[in-house]
Amino acid sequence: MGRERIKIDLLIHDLKVPLAVIEAGIISLLNRREKYGPLTGQQEKVLRRALRNNKVIKTLVNDALELGKSRQGIVNFSNLRLSGLIEDALVEIFDLTHCNTSEEIRHCLDLEALKNVLEEKGVLLLIDEVLWGQEVCLDAAKVRQILRNLLNNALKYRKDRVELVVDKRDGYLIFSVRDDGEGIPSIYHEKIFKCYFQMDATESGCVRGHGLGLAGVMVLIEDMGGRLFLESGEGKGAKFLVEVPLRASR
Ligand SMILES: Nc1ncnc2c1ncn2[C@@H]1O[C@H](COP(=O)(O)OP(=O)(O)O)[C@@H](O)[C@H]1O
Ligand SMILES: [Mg+2]
């Protein structure tokens, strides 16, 4: 690893401690009122928002560190249920934009309830009930980050709907994220996976980002030995299909 990269990763890593201190402080104010004093409803709301945003930064810091590890070819396998993995990714996404939805997702008791909550937000989740409860062996941090990036893009660029399909076949986890937005003309299909590339703002008129998400997604997928396929055309929405090899459960 180059010296510059180490310096940047160290800087990102060192953000963890102050973030933990801020989180602990806010949690104390919220949960230990006998010691710190009562809160008005308004104050509590402000603190909860601060806590949520602190959590978002923590996730981003972990994402950045995960990408660094990925570039070194480090893959951390663990056994986990697909339901937990998908729910966590969804909670992280909605924490940022619709915190009430993320609370509802947290409280869903089964797949059917989750599907209903998502459908109200225009998100269709298609997964077999048996697969939902199954354990898989994969690098959860990487897969969560991929899912989050693709879903965030789909939510950002959709017209009305987003569809997430999850399946397992021949030792691979296969998932696709599809939206019904303006789509991506084929001349951009390679370019959007390059760092800092964004399609011309005038073409989609959407809120601009940084053009880093998909480049990161590609690094993570390649390091797991997976593949990504993009199907999209102008005005036809976009579908990103990802195949991630699973390890036999230990
Ligand atoms: N689902 C999508 N529909 C249309 N365009 C997309 C979609 N996903 C990505 N793009 C295009 O690819 C570019 C790069 O995406 P990304 O790397 O995630 O960066 P960012 O989200 O920061 O803009 C986006 O700016 C957008 O132009
Ligand atoms: Mg993005």
Q: At what angle do helices 82-97 and 41-71 cross, to 10 degrees?
A: 120
Give the residue from 34, 33, 55, 54 showing the smallest Cα distance to 44.
Answer: 33
* Whole-number Å distance between alpha carbons of 242 and 217: 10
Identify the domain boundary among 50, 74, 98. Answer: 74
The ligand placed nearest to the CA atom of residue 154 is 1
Element (H, E) at 30: helix 16-31
Q: Are residues 142 and 197 in the same domain?
A: yes
Q: Residues 161-195, buried b or exposed e (16+ Cβ, 10 A)?
A: bbbbebebeeebbbbbbbbbbbbbeeebeeebbee
* Whole-number Å distance between alpha carbons of 11 and 5: 10
In this structure, what DSSP letter does residue 194 have? S
Q: How far is the CA of 45 from the centre of ligand 1 (A)?
A: 32
Using CB distances shorter than 6 Å, the residues near ligand 1 are 149, 153-154, 157, 179, 181-182, 184, 192, 198-199, 209-215, 238
How large is the greatest C-alpha to C-alpha distance in the chain, in angstroms?
A: 62
Q: Are residues 131 and 17 in the same domain?
A: no
> What is residue 209's predicted lDDT score, i.e. its pLDDT?
63
Tens digit of pLDDT at every position of the chain (250 positions): 678 878 888 889 899 999 999 999 999 999 999 999 999 999 999 999 999 999 889 988 998 888 887 777 788 899 999 999 999 999 989 887 787 898 899 999 999 999 999 999 999 999 999 999 999 999 999 999 999 999 999 999 999 999 999 999 999 999 999 999 999 999 999 999 987 777 765 554 444 566 778 999 999 999 999 999 999 988 899 999 999 999 986 5
Q: Are residues 68 and 110 in the same domain?
A: no
Which residue's CA lies nearest to atom 1 of ligand 1?
154
> What is residue 75's predicted lDDT score, i.e. its pLDDT?
86
To test the pocket of ligand 1, the residue of 93, 161, 198 to mutate (highest count of ligand atoms within 8 Å of its CB) is 198
Task: Judge whether 79 and 90 are in contact, CB under 8 Å.
Answer: no
> What is residue 126's predicted lDDT score, i.e. its pLDDT?
98
The full DSSP string for 82-150 is HHHHHHHHHHHHHHHH-HHHHHHHHT--SHHHHHHHHHHTTEEEEE-HHHHT-EEEE-HHHHHHHHHHH
**Ligand 1 nearest-atom number relative to CA 240:** 1
**Ligand 1 nearest-atom number relative to CA 182:** 4
**Ligand 1 nearest-atom number relative to CA 212:** 17
Burial of 215 per CB tally in 10 Å (0-12, 13-18, 19+) = middle
* Whole-number Å distance between alpha carbons of 167 and 242: 10
Q: Are residues 24 and 138 in the same domain?
A: no
> What is residue 205's predicted lDDT score, i.e. its pLDDT?
47
Q: Which domain holds residue 193?
A: 75-250
> What is residue 195's predicted lDDT score, i.e. its pLDDT?
78
> What is residue 233's predicted lDDT score, i.e. its pLDDT?
86
Q: How far is the CA of 24 from the centre of ligand 1 (A)?
A: 35
Q: How far is the CA of 245 from the centre of ligand 1 (A)?
A: 25
Token pair for 5: 């990269």
> What is residue 104's predicted lDDT score, i.e. its pLDDT?
94
> What is residue 202's predicted lDDT score, i.e. its pLDDT?
53
Q: Are residues 29 and 126 in the same domain?
A: no
Question: In Å, what is the CA distance from 44 to each residue of 2, 98, 103, 221, 230?
Answer: 45, 18, 16, 40, 44
Q: Are residues 27 and 94 in the same domain?
A: no
* Domain of residue 201, CATH code: 3.30.565.10
> What is residue 67's predicted lDDT score, i.e. its pLDDT?
83
Identify the domain boundary among 16, 42, 74. Answer: 74
* Whole-number Å distance between alpha carbons of 174 and 154: 17
Q: How far is the CA of 206 from the centre of ligand 1 (A)?
A: 10
Number of domains in the chain: 2
